[in-house]
Copies of this chain bind each other. A is one copy, B any other.
Amino acid sequence: MTKASASQDISPAQCPRPFVTVDLVIFTLREGQLQVLLMQRAVPPFEGMWALPGGYVRPDEDESLDGAAARILGSKTAVATPYIEQLQGFGNARRDPRGWTATFAYFALIASEQLALQSGANAEDVAWHPVETRPVLAFDHDLILRTGLERLRGKVEYTILPAHLLPAKFTLPDLQSVYEQILDRRLDKSAFRKKMADAGLLEPVPGEMRHASNRPSQLYRIRSDATPFLGRTI
């Protein structure tokens, strides 16, 4: 272990090239529960076990990491413009029995109205699972999933990211319920509404209300000019 070999200026020929993948933690809200998209593996290792959707990055096609993540997301779900961000990298010799691998994990939120799974050869092997009752996962995917959950909970505290988990039109009680679901605690109604109003990222849909067997509630949508700011601190 010489210092020279640690340098970035090692000759490319000497450099070992590991496998590099992108794995996705895709959350949605179904049946009032936070759910995650999983795939059942058809081949070893971990054949038959559930795993996060993922795939190899394609250096040969000039694909960026973000591009690979978007491609994989699009190949599993029918989603137009979801929220996606890089989560964290994982790389060591033990995460895959075949040897050293590295993955860039991504974190995505899907609106519940858009969670139709992409039809295809393997569509039947893709399914939503409630996070609470998820199966044991292949590789180190449980660690990655828990990292994604922490990120989600952390960001919910000070952003309006959870709006991405709802359909395009939603009520403020809907949104508050999502927050409470993710944080696992009750929130104060007036403080919540004030915070949302102050953030200025939502707007009421004029004249549109949701009717149930009680007082109707105003429908809101994300302001069209606000999409880039949903992940910002509010």
Contacts and interface: CB of A to CB of B under 8 A. Distances in A.
Interface of A: 1, 3-4, 6-10, 12, 15-21, 41-43, 51, 53-65, 67, 71-72, 75, 86, 88-93, 98-100, 102, 104, 120-122
B8 A59 contact: no
A53 B196 CA distance: 43
A94 to B, nearest CB: 8
> How many copies of the polypeptide does the oligomer hold?
2
Contact of A17 (B20, B71, B75, B88): B20
A1 B61 CA distance: 10
A92 B57 CA distance: 10
Nearest to A62: B93
A158 to B, nearest CB: 9
B3 A75 contact: yes
A16 B90 contact: no
